[in-house]
Amino acid sequence: MNASSVLYHVVHETSYSYESPVSLSRQHLHLTPRDCPWQSSIAHQILIDPEPGFSRLRCDPFGNPVRQFAIEAPHSHLTVHAESTIEVRAHWPVGGLAGSPENSLADSLASSPPWEQVRDALAYGATPVLLDVNCFQFESPYVRVKHDFSAYARPCFTPSRPLLEAVQALMNRIYNEFEFDPEATTVATPVLKILEDKRGVCQDFAHLMLSCLRSVGLSARYVSGYLLTKPPPGQARLIGADASHAWVSVYCPSEVGGTWVDFDPTNNLLPDTQHITLAWGRDFGDVSPLRGVILGGDEHELEVAVTVTPCESEILTSPGQ
């Protein structure tokens, strides 16, 4: 069976202009796309101005590539230009969940195990112990585990409902009941406030959905990435393009081993070839595109520009899949 894939060119540029010179800057970048079963990085480069005196690439605890650098000479601006060519392969339907690649998306969701069975398999004392999965079950700086969130999720998680159907229903509820409003929140807005006001951006909706999933005992992680800037003719432009995007991934056991399944509550869909994965972690703080410390600078201006376009040879064929 042949599976189509899409080749993207991504440019992510971050620019800081400082009111006074910065004498020292140490930065930590999550701007290198990770390779995973449905995605391959064909080419990638990061250009930094001014040129750092120290730079290295390493992996963080979640397996994401991280670029670290330091500039130890006075500078009045900082520009980070990340450019990538990425192949994204179709990964729906999830044939492995039902044992056959011919199953439809609805069949794949319905074939997932009851959500209570998954919750119990992740509970304290359950065996086998899944350390790489369990670390995404608990509170983190931007995600809370509270009755407020389990109560909001509960109508979606009815007794014995297939896990992925329940998660899809939760995604649908968030999409229908919350308004996308870039002016409503900041990175510091508590997730309980988002639940109360029902307004926010993709990062907020991801943190809200994670809080709901973890509050009912499931394991879910935060995913950062990109969306296609210009959709194909006749298709609606997705919310979150022209900036880094965020969605969630929930753990689901299957006959062929554990599977992580992505859900985008901002756009009410299951990510496929239109989503480009950059990194994942417990929440935004683990995968912030650029964070660090500086000495000096006083006030600063920040500009971020993201452009995602299909390459000219956008449809590839992956033989033997």
212 CB neighbour count, 10 Å cutoff: 32
Range 247-278 burial, b when 16+ CB lie within 10 A, else e: bbbbbbbbeeeebbbbbbbbbebbbbbbbbbb
The reported pLDDT for the residue numbered 318 is 38
307: helix, coil or strand?
strand
CA 168/CA 227 separation, integer angstroms: 20
pLDDT, tens digit only, all 321 positions of the chain:
235 789 999 999 999 999 999 999 999 999 999 999 899 999 999 999 999 999 999 999 999 999 999 999 999 999 999 999 999 998 765 444 444 444 577 788 888 999 999 999 999 888 888 889 999 999 999 999 999 999 999 999 999 999 999 999 999 999 999 999 999 998 899 999 999 999 999 999 999 999 999 999 999 999 999 988 666 677 766 655 667 899 999 999 875 456 899 999 999 999 989 899 999 999 999 999 999 999 998 889 999 989 898 886 443 433 333
The reported pLDDT for the residue numbered 99 is 43
Residues 6+ apart with CB under 8 A from 234: none
- CA distances (Å), origin 311, targets 91, 106, 122, 275: 20, 31, 42, 15
Evaluate whether 172 touches 178 at the Cβ level (below 8 Å).
Answer: no
| List of domains in the chain | 3-87+288-314 (2.60.40.2250), 92-271 (3.10.620.30)
Evaluate whether 282 touches 220 at the Cβ level (below 8 Å).
Answer: no
Return the DSSP state at 109: H
Q: Tokens representing 199? A: 């307004």
For 262, phi then psi, to 5°, come to -90, 145
> Burial level of 2, CB count in 10 A (0-12/13-18/19+)?
exposed
Evaluate whether 81 touches 11 at the Cβ level (below 8 Å).
Answer: yes
195 CB neighbour count, 10 Å cutoff: 22
Q: Tokens representing 220? A: 């879910």
pTM, to two decimals: 0.89
The reported pLDDT for the residue numbered 311 is 86
Q: Tokens representing 124? A: 């304290």
CA 5/CA 17 separation, integer angstroms: 39
The reported pLDDT for the residue numbered 116 is 96
The per-residue DSSP string of 118-151 comes to: HHHHHSTT-SS--HHHHTTSS-BTTB---HHHHH
Q: Are strands 199-200 and 179-180 parallel, antiparallel or unpaired?
A: parallel
Q: Residue 311 is which amino acid?
A: C
Residues 6+ apart with CB under 8 A from 233: none
Q: Tokens representing 173? A: 């509820």
Pseudo-torsion of CA 77, 246, 202, 313, nearest 10°? 90
Q: Residue 171 is which amino acid?
A: M
Return the DSSP state at 319: T
In which element (H, E) is residue 163 found? helix 163-177
The reported pLDDT for the residue numbered 93 is 52
Nearest residue to 260 (alpha-carbon basis) of 219, 224, 225, 288:
219
